[in-house]
């Protein structure tokens, strides 16, 4: 674009027209890019997929409350038992389908050895769904048991 010239006749009057050539060049480049990439975006294999229906599995896994008190005594759903009896029950529960969820509640004063032995026994039996249950800290917001519904 020229705004002034060295010609003395026209003086300092600016040109009032738009140069369309660069605009057309940019539009042509964009058109070429679109023409090249458009077939790549819509390229797919035509398939006729089979139709099938399935029922929703409603088998709910049961839960087992396993507690360990400050003395290291284990409780299976409130019933006291030894480490060997707990290991035997872990083996029985591991064979069920679906496997139950083990909710482990351990007193804060229990030696870590009792918790580690219990986890090792459950793992050796083949149980994988083990969760630690704690009391929420004072002033902490409660965690919802189920995720909130989507809107």
CA distance 120 to 126: 10
Residue in this structure with the two tokens 């409660």, named with its chain if needed: 142
Residue of 145, 147, 106, 100 whose CA lies nearest to 122: 100
Task: Give the dihedral of Cα atoms 140, 144, 147, 150; nearest 10 deg.
Answer: -80
pLDDT (tens digit per residue) in 110-120? 998 999 999 99
pLDDT in tens, 50-94: 787 777 766 677 899 999 998 889 999 999 999 999 999 999 999
pLDDT, one tens digit per residue, over 22-61 is 999 999 999 999 998 887 777 667 777 778 777 776 667 7
């Amino acid at each position: 674009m020229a705004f002034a010239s060295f010609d003395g006749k026209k003086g300092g009057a600016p040109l009032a027209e738009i140069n369309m050539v660069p605009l057309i060049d940019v539009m042509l480049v964009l058109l070429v890019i679109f023409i090249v990439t458009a077939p790549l975006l819509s390229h797919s294999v035509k398939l006729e997929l089979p139709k099938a229906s399935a029922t929703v599995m409603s088998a709910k896994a049961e839960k087992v409350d396993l507690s360990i008190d400050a003395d290291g005594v284990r409780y299976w759903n409130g019933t006291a038992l030894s480490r060997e009896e707990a290991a035997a029950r872990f083996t029985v529960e591991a064979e069920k389908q679906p496997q139950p969820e083990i909710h482990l509640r351990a007193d804060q004063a229990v030696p870590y050895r009792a918790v580690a032995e219990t986890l090792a026994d459950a793992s050796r039996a083949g149980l994988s769904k083990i969760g630690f249950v704690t009391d929420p800290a004072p002033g902490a917001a409660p965690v919802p048991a189920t995720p909130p519904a989507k809107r």
